[in-house]
Amino acid sequence: MKVLLIPPTYRYTTQYPSFLAPCDFASGFAYIAASLEAAGHQVFGCNPNNAPGYPSALDMIHAKIARAITDTKPDLIGIGGLCTDFRFLHDACHIIRHYAPSVPVVMGGSIITYDQEFIHSTLKPDYSLAGEADDTIVMLADALEGRGALDAIPNLCYQKDGRLTFTEKNLKFGRDLNEQPFPDYSMFDIDGMLEASMAARPLYRFYRKDPRIMPIVTARECPFACTFCLHGHGGRAKYRARTTENVMEEIKQLHDRYHFNILILLDELFAVNKQKLDEFCQSLIEYRRRYGWDFNWMFQTHANARLNLESLKLAKEAGCSYFSYGLESASKRVLKSMKKGTQPEQYAEAIAMADEAQIGFGGNFIFGDPAETPETISETLTFYREHCSDIHCFMSGIQPYPGSALYGVCQEMGLMPDKLVFYQTIDQKVFNMTQIPDVQWIGYLRAIVAFDSMPLCKTVDVTRIIRRPLQNRMTVNSDRQFWELFAECPHCNRSFSYIELTQPDQVHTHGLQVITGCEHCCKRIRLNVPVSKDKGLLLPIETAPDDKERLIDQPASAVSGGDEQPQFHNDSQEVQSFLNRMVTMCEQKSYHAAVSYYDAHRGQFQFHPALVEFDRLVGNLRQKLAA
């Protein structure tokens, strides 16, 4: 059977063009492809990503899917994704039905696993498979060729006699992970995704000037049952990990084939304990010596893995550059409500150990648990100020995704009166599960967004800019350019550089600040490209030795070195002090004093995008005080 697999478009509803690196690819498709191939089926891939030049993302997927159907003439088409891929799946289904009305469509992914009946009846694929589909997709393909019965396939939904029929629900179905074939990325434009590593999120690539990122999955599921997460709910499979030997075999295959230099362990829980991490690192050190491997790698684990300094130093020796915890909150009350099973003291200890081991560390704080209060928000922000200025820490509001305990909480509270609207607007609406009044909660979220966009990390001015002559899909037929930004790390005082995909015309008018990390000490840094309101960019754009064409049109004084240029410097410490003072006064309910302080000091800051949210908050505050 000929099977066409179509993974979702990255940032389909929010950004076009966007560029998909392997680290953000839906790796389940590569596993399904490998399983189908091993069973003797012919597999084709259509990756509707990394294709600029169309009027919109919809036009792009229309063209790519239509061509793939015409070229491959498939007998079965597979699509799927997360709940956040609903709009893509809706549009993809319509396109497929138009060009291949008689070809059966099977849908999978967590969007099906946690809401199979609603999604199937809404999007109307011919078949849907819940849970891990490595083996059930093969059973379905075989059955469609007359080699098996549909009702013998677990977790399957399909139409029979005009109504939906569900087979036995067994989300634990599947063989030993060590017996699964290694994922096959070859039919999903892997070369284009590796090329797009240059545009991956900075956290994943600041270690290398020419990043080639590859992911690997060494374990599935998670033994914990946090309320905001999907794992541990709905009868899912238990946490299982592959053997270290099996993982090393896949790393070797990937390295031999794709020559990656950054490896991301996608497991939500890698190294369930220090013994597992030590075993992995010792094996990796041996393989690096044996095969001459040279790559950075990173992983995520849980605070209860209880890693120690010796384990982190061993990881550093094995090439590890970064690891993270799911921090979530620094309030013990909220952590207990989340069923997180951790304490803030564990986070502080990990931050200190990572610093001593010279490995990057990071995590996320998410706000909005039902136990959240102004006091718990203050606890987390206080911890953030005291411990997180140098780490890669991010903040956002909680989203109640289907399958999580919080999704049920929102339903019980009547916050989702229309499920279809929920899916159509997913990640666009604020759900207030707290007892904080809605208006006040929205204000908190806006402040959190502002803090996240203007983190406490140290700022350093870029001292040199070189335009790199990298011609690829990210720059062709556009004004996007790759700039190499040079600076001195304010932490380790070593010189480093970082390559960023830029829109030069926007830099001249809006400036450019990039949150990244030092390739040497791996600590978080904000790079500031110096600009002035009158003269724009204050540094000349140099060209690499092999790039003769000058593509940046700059003021003559910026290139010729005529009159002395005024130096515009964004003092991050002053800005952060201003923000902290504003937040403190508002927490103390000194609103009139906060507005007066704002009026007295806001004018000195010109080029700080994070202040836009504070400007809006102060505007709202003025209206309330006037009323």
Nearest one of 196, 323, 190, 319 to 254, comparing CA atoms: 190
Residue 442 neighbours by CB under 8 Å, 6+ apart: 430, 432
* Amino acid present at 443: G
572 confidence band (pLDDT: 50, 70, 90)? low
Asked if 416 contacts 410 with a C-beta cutoff of 8 angstroms, the reply is: yes
Whole-model pTM? 0.86
102: three-class secondary structure by DSSP: coil
For residues 228 and 206, what is the distance between their CA atoms, to the nearest angstrom?
30
Q: Report the 10 Å Cβ neighbour count for 421.
A: 11
Nearest one of 180, 203, 91 to 133, comparing CA atoms: 180
Asked if 406 contacts 400 with a C-beta cutoff of 8 angstroms, the reply is: yes
* Torsion over CA: 110, 111, 115, 116 (sign): negative
Token pair for 248: 């090393």
For residues 438 and 88, what is the distance between their CA atoms, to the nearest angstrom?
31
For residues 396 and 407, what is the distance between their CA atoms, to the nearest angstrom?
17
Nearest one of 462, 460, 461 to 541, comparing CA atoms: 462
Residue 548 has pLDDT above 90, yes or no: no
Type and span of the H or E element at 215 = strand 213-216
Asked if 409 contacts 370 with a C-beta cutoff of 8 angstroms, the reply is: yes
597 confidence band (pLDDT: 50, 70, 90)? confident
CA 447 from centroid of its chain's CA atoms: 21
Residue 607 has pLDDT above 70, yes or no: no
396: three-class secondary structure by DSSP: strand
385 confidence band (pLDDT: 50, 70, 90)? very high
557 confidence band (pLDDT: 50, 70, 90)? very low
Residue 410 has pLDDT above 80, yes or no: yes
Residue 560 neighbours by CB under 8 Å, 6+ apart: none
State the pLDDT at residue 201: 93
Q: Report the 10 Å Cβ neighbour count for 191.
A: 12
Structural domains in the chain, CATH included, are 2-166 (3.40.50.280), 200-436 (3.20.20.70), 458-560 (no CATH), 572-626 (no CATH)
* Amino acid present at 242: R
State the pLDDT at residue 551: 36
285 confidence band (pLDDT: 50, 70, 90)? very high
